[in-house]
Amino acid sequence: MRLASCNIFFASQLDVTDRKQYELRIVEEKDRFEKAVSDRTADLREANDQLKSALSIKDELLHEVDHRVKNNMQIISSLISMQLRTIDDDKIKASLQTTLGRVEAMSTVHRRFYQSGDVTHFDIAAFVRDLASDLVVATGRPDIRLDIDLEPVQVPAEKAAPLALMVNELATNAIKHGLSSERGGVLSVTTRHQGDRCRITVADDGPGMIEGTTTSLTYGKRLVERLGKQLQAELRWLDAEPGLQVEITVPIAQRLRGQ
């Protein structure tokens, strides 16, 4: 009876030893796994910090570029303004004044990028509001009323400049040709976000467009159409009855690289 009891006792001891060894192996594997996870997490955290630093430097550089471009355009504007004061020919002065407006529109785009915290997108609605208001105020004419209905729309940064030039051209021509000093009237501008597209409408209640009436008008139309083609935009020149209405519908969804 004693011998049997001893055998049972030793068998029990062997079972506990195996279990303890198994538990130790589990603990060791767990420690190795946790260390590997910790090391990997540290590597990812370091890589993430490096990526954030690189993106921050990129944004700073882009802001600096926009700031310098804006300053250079202001210099160009000043040179054109100085030249205007030396010219007596009304047609040449009008042409230079139109060029000055285009340069100032571009300068405004870069100023907005410089002041913005986002260098990848551009608030076209805010730009349109300021541009239209400035153009009407610059005329000094109380007989022109501004009617704006703007929905916030963010467009990709690379489309900001040509789109801003198009709006500037259309609004300038509407004031110059549609709302002449003999007529006055209303300048209407709207922006809409339509899925992956942006629609901008510029209209006046003047006599509408008569092809070939003025060189500056037809040149402005060609410029808008060329810029629209560059943006893959759809352009519609409509009789507003009265006046002219131009619709710009441009895709604003950014494509993935390689598409």
Q: What would the pLDDT profile of 26-35 be if each residue is shown by its tens digit?
A: 777 777 777 7
Helix (DSSP H) and strand (DSSP E) numbers for the chain: 5, 7
Q: Estimate the crossing angle of helix 157-173 against helix 215-230, to 10 degrees.
A: 160
pLDDT digits (tens, 9 = 90+) for 146-202: 999 999 999 998 899 999 999 999 999 899 888 877 778 999 999 999 889 999 999
C-alpha distances out from residue 257 to 26, 61, 88, 159, 202, Å: 47, 22, 51, 16, 33
Range list for CATH 3.30.565.10 in the chain: 121-259
Which residues are within 8 A (CB) of 89 and not within 5 positions of it... i.e. 6 or more apart?
A: none
Higher pLDDT, 3 or 53: 53
> What architecture does CATH give domain 121-259?
2-Layer Sandwich (3.30)
- Strand positions, DSSP E, 5-116: none
Mean of the per-residue pLDDT values for the chain? Answer: 80
DSSP state letter for 207? S
Q: What is the pLDDT of residues 48-107, one digit of tens each?
A: 776 776 666 766 777 677 778 778 878 888 888 888 888 888 888 888 888 888 888 888
Q: Measured on CA atoms in the order 19, 20, 25, 31, is the torsion positive or negative?
A: positive
Specify the DSSP element, H or E, that contains 20.
helix 2-84
